[in-house]
Structures are given as structure tokens and as C-alpha cells.
Chain A
């Protein structure tokens, strides 16, 4: 099983600031990496797939990068609706998720 780790566990950011979230895989997953956003009481929403491709309807302030074992999700200017938990997921093998990064208001 490919183990995913995320850092930091919690990220406190002020609205308008940049947020950088990290994700690491225990072995290479190539570019088979997705990012999801989840708000309380809601289902996850796909943000990024293929490590860097934005899903339909996702604002340009969300961007993904990386390949192999190291990945980053960047939110260029945080909006109020972006405060949520973010999960990375590899799908190079049977899907596994990271533990999540909570982005909260500073």
C-alpha cells in the first residue's frame, strides 16, 4: 500500500494570503495524484488531478505541482470559501488518501 503524508496538519492563513500545502508518497506515483477540498458536512470536491490539472469549474487560484513522491497544492490568494480540509490522493495503485491539511483563518 502506498502511504500518503501531508504537511502541515493545520495551516493558519489570513484571507488574501498564499497557502502552500505539501503531500508526499511513500513511493513514486508518477503524476497520478489528486487534491480534494472538504468542508464540514459536505462531500469532498475534486480540485486537481494528474498532479496539476484543474478540475472543471475550479478557480485559477488553485494550482498543483510535483511528480513522483513530492507534490504541492498552492492557493494563491485565500478567499473565505477556501477555509476547509484538503486531502491528497494517489491513484497510481489502489487509491490511498493523505490524512488531510486543515486550512483555517489566522
Chain B
């Protein structure tokens, strides 16, 4: 059974940084692209970033480009999201999610973690 567990959320002041982690188990983590998706309180879903299965390629939503960095450590089965220069509008539950297909980056998301809440407030 695939399991994704996020951690690292919390309350942070505007302009500060935070790093989220997503620990994966139950499948071959290194075979799948991984994504971060966020959901502001009471709002819909917003895709944030993706990293290829081998970590060589990553892409970002315009809203976070230049501030957030996605990375992975396949030896630790862990995905990361480094978030810098945080803004109030970054306040959301952040989910990690696995891509649909082995060895590809499709954008379809078949397994999701339970999410971690990031609150940006002074």
C-alpha cells in the first residue's frame, strides 16, 4: 500500500523560509515523478511543482517560481519543498502526490498524502 506522509508545516512570518518533507513507502519511490499541490483554506486545489523520477527535471507554477524549490532524495524515499520568501497568500495545506505512470511525468496524481498546513502570518 502506497503511503505518503508530509511534515514540516507550521506558522512562519512573511519573508521567512520553511522546508516541507514527504516520506514515501509501499512503492518504488525512485520510479515516479512527484508533485506538490496546495489548497488555501476553504479554496480549491492549486498545482505547485513537479520533479521527475530521477530528479533531473523540475517545473513550477508561476506563483512560486523563483521562491520554491522541489527536490528529492531517492536513497531516503523522500520528497522536499523548500519555500523561501513566504507570503500570506502561500498559506495553505500542502499535499505531496505521486504521478500516475512509472518513469513519466503526466500530471495525473494517483496517491496523495494527508497534507501539512503552512500558515504565513506575522
Contact = CB atoms under 8 A, between A and B. Distances in A.
Interface in B6-65: 35, 37, 44-47, 59, 61
Interface residues of A, number: 24
B112 A91 contact: no
* Interface bracket on B: 20 to 34
B113 to A, nearest CB: 6
Interface secondary structure of B, over-half rule = strand
Given A43-B95, A96-B47, A91 B106 contact: yes
Nearest to B4: A43
A100 interface: yes
Contacts of A15: none
Contact of A32 (B61, B107, B115): B107
Given A43-B95, A49-B100, A94-B61, A34 B108 contact: yes
A45 B47 contact: no
Interface in A13-33: 32
A71 interface: no
Contacts of A83: none
Interface of A: 32, 34, 36, 42-46, 49-50, 55-56, 87, 89-92, 94-100
